[in-house]
Amino acid sequence: MGVIASNLIGKIKTGSSANVSISGSGSIITSSDTGSLLAVKYIKDDSSATTNPSDIGSIALKNWFAQYVGALGKFNKAINDDSNIKWGDYRGATILGFRITVKNESSSRYKNSNNAAIRIMPLNGDTTGTRAYTVQVGGKSNSSGGGQLTFSGFNGGEGTIKPIRVIDDNTGVQLQMNWQTGYDGGQAVITGSDSVAIPGRSFVANWVDNSKRGTTFSKPLFFFLGQESTRTYGLSS
């Protein structure tokens, strides 16, 4: 993964305005897992591989966090509270997300390979401290310091549902979705929850070569806590 170029990002410009401008400069890699407050906003907000941030007012930034992070991500300042905005309001706030690729169960004579698999890369998390995540899929659990984790050995039979949970161990913020596994050339579907998108919303995985769904991993899907902003959840652009 790349590292966010965060020079000036998150600094406050000098001036007399009560709504001071927060300055952004340089490019942001939107699939990285570190960054300042302004940088992680763009990771949830922009679907391009890299983006160049623009200056944003402190009230506008606060309102964005209130709408798109909120209590799910431990940001508790209200959208109608414009008084005494300070950096401490963001302490512990987390924009947690994850990147997913999946592989269907491979074709076999008795359909008993049970080798459907999923790869999960936690994204963003809190912006300070050591990265520490717990990822759970279908009763299996593993820990990550920010790297990608692979879970395999699942039945790809039609309608088989495996719950996914990604936990930021530093903040306790967690996301849940469901993975409907696929067999050979069948569909694999990720569904939303009350912590990502909306409950039951479906995101269908696609492959570079759809004839190899049982032998290769799909194109990546990206998800973040809460509702969508301008970045559409699911397949990357």
* The dihedral sign for the CA sequence 230, 232, 236, 237: negative
What stretch(es) of the chain map to CATH 2.60.40.10? 95-235
The pLDDT tens digits for 212-233 are 999 999 999 999 999 998 888 9
The pLDDT tens digits for 145-154 are 878 999 999 9
More confident call, 236 vs 126: 236
Q: Which residue has the tokens 């570190």?
A: 34
pLDDT at 162: 97
Is the predicted pLDDT of residue 35 greater than 60, yes or no?
Answer: no
| Residue 195 confidence class, pLDDT cut points 50, 70, 90 | very high
The pLDDT tens digits for 52-73 are 777 788 888 899 999 999 999 9
pLDDT at 102: 98
Considering only the top CATH level, what class is 95-235? mainly beta
Q: Which residue has the tokens 């194109």?
A: 219
Burial 105-122 (b: 16+ CB within 10 A, else e): bbeeeeeebbbbbbbbbb
pLDDT at 19: 66
